[in-house]
Amino acid sequence: MKHLTYLLLILLTFSSCEDYLERAPKDQVDSAFFFNSAKDLEVATNDFYSMLPGKEVYTDDSSSDNVVTLSTADRLKGTRIVPTKRGTGGWSWSNLRDINFFLENYTKVDDEEALKEYGGIARFFRAFFYFDKVKDFGDVPWYSKVLNAGDEDLYKARDSRELVMDSIMADIDYAIENIPAQVEVSKITKYTALILKARIALFEGTFRKYHNLSGHAAFLEAAADASKKLITSGTYSIYSIGGPEAAYRNLFSRNDQDATETILARDFDREKQTHNLGYLMTAPTNGAYGLTKDLVNSYLMSDGSPFTNKPNYGTMQYYQEIQNRDPRLTQTTAGPNFIVNGEGSVEPVTLNGTTTGYRIIKGLPSRDQWNAAFFDVVIFRYAEALLIYAEAKAELGTLTQEDLDISVNVLRDRVSMPHLVMENANTNPDAYQDAMYTNVDNGANKGVILEIRRERRVELFNEGLRWDDLMRWKEGKKVEQPMLGLYFPNLGSFDFNNDGTADVYVHNGDISGAPTGITSYINVQQRTLTNGNEGNLNPFSEGGSFDESRDYYYPIPLEDLALNDNLIQNPNW
């Protein structure tokens, strides 16, 4: 992040990767020496920023139904196993100890404004920490103090989801109330706390609703309230530089984020810290990321009608299916005339670096960054707040057309798409989306909820939210639906950009008949189609597997269970 970092002795204890159960008590001399000024509080809370995600924001969708990679994630295949070593598999608490240590010592500083700001930042990170724990494990032990050897709470049972979530909400409310309302993309502010609250509350409200747990309405109301405050603040707007045909792509492909739409981003720098997202998105032997066909099918036509209303949508070839669609489609996957960021000529058609044929370009940097990228990674942005507001109101049954016009339709305006009309959506729920999601409120808002889910999937693609969406909607079985790619009616040559020259050749091992000018070869003996010599690319032929009785939660490590008799494993692990 673009904030000050200091190498002090106290931070060495903060950055330990050991589990808190293994660590010696904090040296009281450290706290006496360190917590004496506002600058000390800033230095201490700067260390918490390492808890924020980096490039994994843009890779998490590769473990969902949005993206197929060369190596399929265990959670998609249903092959997760119970970890053995304590503190693994997400059951680690060292970051929490660091936060609680700060909160036990920071009030010694005689600076009321600094106490509010940095106390709020610490509580922001505790809420952030515990939100991840609840998503993964459900009930977890709530600790609001530093635990030292001999503390009886070291081995207590898990606290109820209700207690933990109420504590999370209290922390994030404190953060909202006390952190200044600054506008900085690399620093936790009041606005960062508001968007985190909205995200947490939407997850919990819909999780409780669709998993038949009590208390969902209060969380949905909190989600709507927090996101509405962001909207009415007027602080952020939708990034529009480049116009409908380029603005969405430009938002993610630029090197440095600004505070137009971006609320918080992870900063990368050519000289100090880089990542390999460019390589993952382009390397045929590494990630080879590819959008799934049912995601591509979900992008609307440019007139607002469903692509899947077309009678031949399932067998339409690439060039035809990409025409007259929501402009976000060809700003997310390479279209017929794709130009690499920063270049002036059309890239030759290449399908070697994508499992499905639908190559990811959202967030793809300039070519000089394909091995060592330094473009910023967006963690929170205003568009998510708009979608949270619409979904929370729809799930509550209080959504109006005016609500859609200040949320979903603002996003559609960026790409000049027709507005979502609530009455039309509810009168004629989309059959394709309805078949995709089997667990949807069947009340009067069913159609608009389906459309909001469509919009969320399209707008927030590859931003690390899809798996959580499926979990909170109780749609785990969605990963068992086929994850396919491009359709080919037969072997032979295909003109992908309609320039009169074939550029893709599909064969069964014999390329002797390939015309000149081919830039991509697909051998169906290696990259199978769904029906032998015809059909869709089928890079995940074994298919997904999801156990409804088990897979909404992660397992607790065996050693942690052995050490604490009060811990109970999650069901069926």
Q: What is the pLDDT of residues 246-258, one digit of tens each?
A: 999 999 999 999 9
Report whether pLDDT(9) > 90: no
Q: How far apart are CA 386 and CA 390, in angstroms?
A: 6
State the residue for tokens 């309805």: 434
In a domain, 530, yes or no: yes
Mean pLDDT over 291-310 rounds to 98
Q: Give the domain range for residue 516.
A: 488-537
In a domain, 4, yes or no: no
In a domain, 12, yes or no: no
* Cβ neighbours of 212 (radius 10 Å): 8
Report whether pLDDT(342) > 50: yes
Cβ atoms of residues 146 and 103 within 8 Å: no
Residue-wise DSSP of 95-135: HHHHHHHHHHHGGGSS-HHHHHHHHHHHHHHHHHHHHHHHH
Relative orientation angle of helices 190-210 and 216-233, to the nearest 10 degrees: 150
Q: How far apart are CA 509 and CA 404, in angstroms?
A: 52
Give 396-428 pLDDT, tens digit per residue.
999 999 999 999 999 999 999 999 999 999 999
In a domain, 5, yes or no: no
In a domain, 508, yes or no: yes
Report whether pLDDT(1) > 50: no
Q: What is the tally of structural domains in the chain?
A: 1
Q: How far apart are CA 64 and CA 61, in angstroms?
A: 5
- Phi/psi for 185 (5° steps) reads -80, -10
Relative orientation angle of helices 38-46 and 112-137, to the nearest 10 degrees: 20
SS (H, E, C) 231-298: HHHCCCCCCCCCCCCCHHHHHHHCCCCCCCCEEEEECCECCCECECHHHHHHCCCCCCCEECHHHHHH
- Phi/psi for 523 (5° steps) reads -95, 115
Report whether pLDDT(7) > 60: no
Return mean pLDDT, the chain.
93
In a domain, 331, yes or no: no
CA angle 447, 453, 459 (to 5 degrees): 135
Give 138-183 pLDDT, tens digit per residue.
999 999 999 888 888 889 999 999 999 999 999 999 999 999 999 9
Report whether pLDDT(238) > 80: yes
Mean pLDDT over 190-197 rounds to 98
Q: How far apart are CA 256 and CA 239, in angstroms?
A: 13
Report whether pLDDT(129) > 80: yes
In a domain, 522, yes or no: yes
Relative orientation angle of helices 190-210 and 112-137, to the nearest 10 degrees: 30
CA angle 121, 377, 453 (to 5 degrees): 90
In a domain, 414, yes or no: no
Q: How confident is the model at residue 269 (pLDDT cuts 50, 70, 90)?
A: confident
Q: How far apart are CA 273 and CA 186, in angstroms?
A: 15
Q: How far apart are CA 282 and CA 297, in angstroms?
A: 23
Mean pLDDT over 493-510 rounds to 96
Instruction: Annotate 123-135 with b (16+ C-beta within 10 A) or e (fewer).
Output: bbbbbbbbbebbb
